[in-house]
Amino acid sequence: MTSLHEQTVTELVELIRTRTVTCRQVVEAHLARMESLNTPIRAVTLVLGEQALAMADAADKTPTDAHLRGIPFTIKEDLDCVGSPTTRGLRFLANALPYVDAPSVQRLKAAGAIPIGRTNTSEMGLRLDTDNPLRGRTRNPWNGALTVGGSSGGDAAAVATGMVPLGLGGDLGGSLRAPAGACGVTTLKPTTGRIAYASSLEPQDFGMAGQLMLAVGPITRSAADLALVFPVLAGRDIRDPRSVDAPLKGPTPDEKRAALVTSLPGGALPADIRAAVERAGKILEESGWAVEEADPPELERVNEVWHKIVATDFSAQLQLLRPVLSPPLYDHMARVCGTAGLDGVSNLRLHSERSRLMRAWSGFMAEYPVVIGPNWAAPLWPVDSDLDPKRGLELLKETTRFMLPGNALGLPCVALPMGVANGLPTGIQVYADLWREDLCLEVARLIEVAVGFKMPMEPVF
């Protein structure tokens, strides 16, 4: 049998269900993998070993039909997990202990899953790199000199290397999809409000950027795993006024049509990234889909609206954050706010524009129910390049050209690896209209099976 740390969530669920292995054996295998790999990678910030083994023993003594019984998972340090601090990568929150689990953590536990560790993030989740003064840097297991992505880089690196089969993070500006792409794993950024978010620590309420654009989601090694975990996580929680109970499956499209996005405003895509998108389109065509190259509406304007919403929130509180952010990150956020062009832009105009763009994209997706495009729209860059005072903002803009619509417009999206080029993973994104995660997952699974890319991997450093 393949080593337990190499198994997917789906495979482990079946092994535990049939009593081929015990929950304790599964947890022990992942703890051993963590012990052997985590020191150089620094993905896991706090190992919950004793607690996880106790939960595994309890699950073995009283077997149930819980959906995810015995499955270990990690939790990014900006989501509450009782008994461990929610640091958000900040020194002054090093001992900030929540008194209630985040809704997503609650749901996984209720389904039988077992928290096995906390994972690293950037300070306040504000970077596409994973480093902070409290926990240090998470290294990309494919190349330690390059960014691991962020801000859910700890979970992505842990899942990619087999320390855990399932991670839990959040995404306000690519924070699930960027590290998934950098590490060669898969993730679902759901429709905003599909998976509830709430904190038992202050601040319990966020500005408009968080309310409109933050989404919690799973990181795994297969689209099949995402489809298995997604129904567990989805649904209303009274602590999150944005959250809703919505059908998990919508009507079958009248036509299986997909838009293929092979070019973006702001410069040509790197050849390996474009090739990954084109390969996904060919797979869909061979599966009976009508695939056409098409340009989604006003992509530059969508990205601009995202920038303005984020800058509006942060410019109002930037001075308050100065004592808690590292100086390089504070300076970076000051540049983000200063370049957003907020003068003369009222909230009425900004949010009216967002609504108009959402309507335009829903119209586009009525014609093309699925949209396939790049994840990273630029090559992986060296660590800390995003903080460069001269080049950093332009580099981030180039990188996230096709990530930000998911946040700005609240759309669901699956980030899917497509293989390896030049020693690094390549990947795509599968978008669908609001509340149509089922289409994203269906198409991602179809492409995944044809590609046959397998993880986990052994770190190369």
Please confirm, yes or no, whether 3 is among the known catalytic residues: no
For residue 120, the number of C-alpha atoms closer than 13 Å in the C-beta half-sphere is 31
Q: Which amino acid is at 275?
A: A
Tokens for 241, please give them.
């006024």
The one catalytic residue among 104, 122, 152, 175: 175
Q: 364, 257 in Cβ contact below 8 A? A: no
> Are β-strands 424-431 and 413-421 bridged in parallel, bridged antiparallel, or unpaired?
antiparallel
Burial 80-116 (b: 16+ CB within 10 A, else e): bbbebbbbbbbeebeebebeebbbbbbbbbebbbbbb
- Write b or e for each residue in 406-444: b if 16 or more Cβ atoms lie within 10 A of its Cβ, otherwise e: bbbbbbbbbbbbbeeeeebbbbbbbbbbbbbbbbbbbbb
Going by C-alpha positions, the residue among 80, 302, 43 that lies closest to residue 182 is 43
Phi, psi of 130 (to 5 degrees): -125, 100
Pair of tokens at residue 178: 């960027």
Query: What CA–CA distance (Å, rounded) separates 340 from 309?
Result: 9
Phi and psi based region of residue 256 (left: phi greater than 0; alpha: psi -120 to 50; beta: remaining): beta
Name the strand (E) or helix (H) holding 53. helix 49-61
The count of other CB atoms within 10 Å of the CB of residue 281 is 22
Which residue of the set 151, 152, 222, 243 is catalytic? 151
Rounded to an integer, what distance in angstroms lies between the CA atom of residue 216 and that of residue 88?
15
- List alpha helices for 87-207, DSSP H: 103-110, 153-160, 177-183
Selecting among 76, 109, 189, 397, the annotated active-site residue is: 76
Please indicate whether residue 189 is annotated as part of the active site. no
If phi over 0 gives left and psi between -120 and 50 gives alpha, with beta otherwise, what is residue 250? beta
Q: Give catalytic status of residue 151 as yes or no.
A: yes
Catalytic residues: 76, 151, 175
